[in-house]
Homo-oligomer: A and B are copies of this chain.
Amino acid sequence: MKSRDREATRQRLFHAARSLFAEYGYEHVTVRMIAAEADANVALVARYFGSKAELFAEVLAGEPSIRQVFGGDTEGLPRRLAEYAAQRMHAEPDSPILRSLERSAGHPEIQNVVRDRLRNVIIEPLARLLAESGEPAASMARARLVTSIFLGIGTLRRLVGPEQGTPADVDRLTAVFAAALKP
């Protein structure tokens, strides 16, 4: 018998799920894994969150976005994006959001969740930012392209392993984002 504290147990399950989803993606995480990691009973996942999919959605909703990167001057945006991406390239990200997105996108059950999250949190805020500041030309296409590059970097990192990013890489990445963002 465990702590007998509903909220604490719920939290343990939530954090276990968050960590595991980030590491392995929706499909490869089982509710039994989550329960084991949280040192709780399997049935409690369904009881406290309704279903595995709802738990995933709740995890996703609780994640901070990369909106912070968007703040600041527009001229510096490419470099901030590059540094953020380079950091993700060779370090464990503290936020599992993008990894979750990348790793979980194949599952039809949560595809809508993932898609909406991607749109609402990354693409459209970025597009709005571009539309408001400076030249609004093709802001949506530019936002999509930037998002593509982000996703691709994560995917490649996951597939062929991390690479230590040299300053030259960050420079190159900056140039890439600048090219993607040029009106």
Residues of chain A having any CB pair with chain B under 8 Å = 25, 27-28, 101-103, 105-108, 111, 114-115, 118-119, 123, 138, 141-142, 144-145, 147-153, 155-156, 158-160, 163, 166, 168-169, 172-173, 175-176, 178-180, 182
The 10 closest A-B pairs by CB, nearest first: A152-B152, A148-B152, A175-B179, A151-B152, A179-B179, A148-B156, A176-B179, A151-B155, A148-B153, A176-B180
Copies per assembly: 2
**CB contact between A159 and one of B105, B159, B178 (< 8 Å): that residue:** B105
Interface of A (DSSP majority class): helix
* Shortest Cβ distance from A174 into B: residue: B179
List chain B residues, Cβ under 8 A from A172.
138, 141-142, 145, 179-180, 182
